[in-house]
Amino acid sequence: MMNTYSRFPVTFTRGQGSWLWDSQGQPYLDCVAGIAVCSLGHSNPVLQRALSEQLGRLQHVSNLYFNPEQAELATWITANSAMDAVFFCNSGAEANEAAIKLARKYGRCKRGIEQAQIITARASFHGRTMASLSATGQPKYHQGFTPLVSGFTYVDYNHLPALEQCIDQLEAHGPAVAAVLLEPLQGEGGVRPGVASFFAALRQLCDQRDILLILDEVQVGMGRTGRLWGYQHLGIEPDAMTMAKGLGGGFPMGALAVKRHCDVFQPGDHASTFGGNPMACRAALTVAAELQRLDLLTHVQERGDQLRRGLELLVGQFPQFCAAVRGWGLIQGLVLKEGGVSSLQVVQACLRQRLLVVPAGAQVVRFVPPLTIGEEEINTALMGLGTALNGLAMEGSHQ
Ligand SMILES: Cc1ncc(COP(=O)(O)O)c(C=O)c1O
């Protein structure tokens, strides 16, 4: 394997619900869920059954032909969002690539823009392919990979004057900005929720100028926040949105969904061999059905409140390390104080307690457990984190 990951020293061989077992048979409570992916938990029996049935019926046919699973999933996504049409792919980066191409084509067709600009946010994360990497407003990910794809400008997240100024500058000599691409809540960049008043003003601005507002729902979409889509926390509707991660519940799956007015792709404009493969669509349809059958959005709100309250108590108990808690539903970030311990140190200390959590930048510890996590399991996670923080406090006092 190429050396692209600094992995934690553990090998997982089995999973069940919110738990993983390592090669020594030791159980770990999983508050990472494959980084906000395994929404129904591990080895979910309903997903297992649906996927084995699908495998026995039809696995892959290519987008040269129709398959019923795609139609059913596109119908579900459009019926349960503000979107009207869907393009299927396999990952978040690939969904964002599609969105970037769509924005460029929209700008050209609708506003005559030859060299389209797309505005994204500092501290954003949109993926590792060249265009999604260029859209990502974090220089640390760009290092060593220039030249980037041109046409991206970064502004501060949730900062209206900066965004207005940026559009004015870019459009000083005529139409230039095809789209603004933002996460409803910045996940990897530090679990930073969008502010509704900012997004309302941005929506107006985009409408006035005929600029597309595209939301990257890859990490927060499909129920993670206690609403089906992140934009529902912000009181606006995007023109287009991307999704992946939790969509397939662990099966690789991504999609770009658009409103009718920006459905500008024509046959031949974009494609993906595996995109919307019957297995991936069946996985997403099963996640969708389980969200409804188990009333998981209510469950996520309740467990999210419980997790947040517990984390806030720990902020009070460990003021030397912890500054705040932020997030929506079951994506919560424990914000650490500068100059104390790093998120990596906390994640490593949690691993010693057999609790899996993941950094979101250097100062935030991210909790993104399966959406099915139970009340007792949240308590166990909070106890594990408390023990880990206590251990770090003891180490500090001995130095
Ligand atoms: C908001 C957001 N967009 C895009 C991506 C990239 O998704 P993928 O790793 O599936 O390409 C991620 C992954 O963390 C993400 O959090």
Q: Which domains does the chain have, with CATH numbers?
A: 12-43+295-398 (3.90.1150.10), 45-293 (3.40.640.10)
Q: What angle do CA 144, 150, 153 make, to 5 degrees?
A: 95
pLDDT digits (tens, 9 = 90+) for 366-392: 999 999 999 999 999 999 999 999 999
pLDDT digits (tens, 9 = 90+) for 113-168: 999 999 999 999 999 999 999 999 999 999 999 999 999 999 999 999 999 999 99
| Amino acid at site 197 | S
pLDDT digits (tens, 9 = 90+) for 234-289: 999 999 999 999 999 999 999 999 999 999 999 999 999 999 999 999 999 999 99
Is the minimum distance from the CB of 127 to ligand 1 under 6 angstroms?
A: yes
Residue 397 is predicted with a pLDDT of 75
Distance 215 CA to ligand 1 centre (A): 12
Q: Which of 4, 97, 188, 214 to mutate to test the pocket of ligand 1 (most atoms within 8 A of CB)?
A: 188
Distance 95 CA to ligand 1 centre (A): 9
**Nearest atom within ligand 1 for CA of residue 187:** 16
Contact criterion met (CB below 8 Å) for 9 and 3: no
Q: Name the closest-CA residue to atom 13, ligand 1.
A: 127
Q: How is residue 127 annotated by DSSP? A: -
Is the minimum distance from the CB of 187 to ligand 1 under 6 angstroms?
A: yes
Q: How is residue 4 annotated by DSSP? A: -
Q: How far apart are CA 104 and CA 14, in angstroms?
A: 44
Distance 381 CA to ligand 1 centre (A): 25
Region of 308 please: left (phi>0), alpha (psi -120 to 50) or beta: alpha
First to last CA, the chain: 39
Contact criterion met (CB below 8 Å) for 245 and 93: no
Distance of CA 202 to the CA centre of its chain: 21
Is the minimum distance from the CB of 131 to ligand 1 under 6 angstroms?
A: no
Q: What is the 3-state secondary structure (H, E, C) of 250-262?
A: CECCEEEEECHHH
- The pLDDT of 300-308, averaged and rounded, is 98
Is the minimum distance from the CB of 91 to ligand 1 under 6 angstroms?
A: yes
Look at residue 399 and tell me whether its pLDDT is greater than 70: no
Distance 362 CA to ligand 1 centre (A): 18
Whole-number CA gyration radius for the chain: 21
Residue 398 is predicted with a pLDDT of 64
- Give the pair of three-digit tokens for residue 82: 């503000």
Mean pLDDT of the chain: 97
Residue 396 is predicted with a pLDDT of 80
Residue 184 is predicted with a pLDDT of 98
- Give the pair of three-digit tokens for residue 204: 């107006």
- Give the pair of three-digit tokens for residue 380: 């166990």
Q: Which of 35, 89, 125 to mutate to test the pocket of ligand 1 (most atoms within 8 A of CB)?
A: 125
Distance 231 CA to ligand 1 centre (A): 17
Distance 243 CA to ligand 1 centre (A): 9
Q: Name the closest-CA residue to atom 3, ligand 1.
A: 126
Residue of 246, 227, 247 whose CA lies nearest to 237: 227
Residue 11 is predicted with a pLDDT of 98
Q: Which of 4, 32, 96, 126 to mutate to test the pocket of ligand 1 (most atoms within 8 A of CB)?
A: 126
Residue of 191, 186, 188 whose CA lies nearest to 140: 188
- Order the strands of the 364-367 sheet from edge to edge: 322-328, 331-336, 364-367, 358-359
Asked whether the CA dihedral 293, 298, 299, 300 is positive or negative, the reply is: positive
- The pLDDT of 324-328, averaged and rounded, is 98
Q: Which residue has 């207005």 as its token pair?
A: 164
pLDDT digits (tens, 9 = 90+) for 69-84: 999 999 999 999 999 9
Give catalytic residue positions: 125, 216, 245
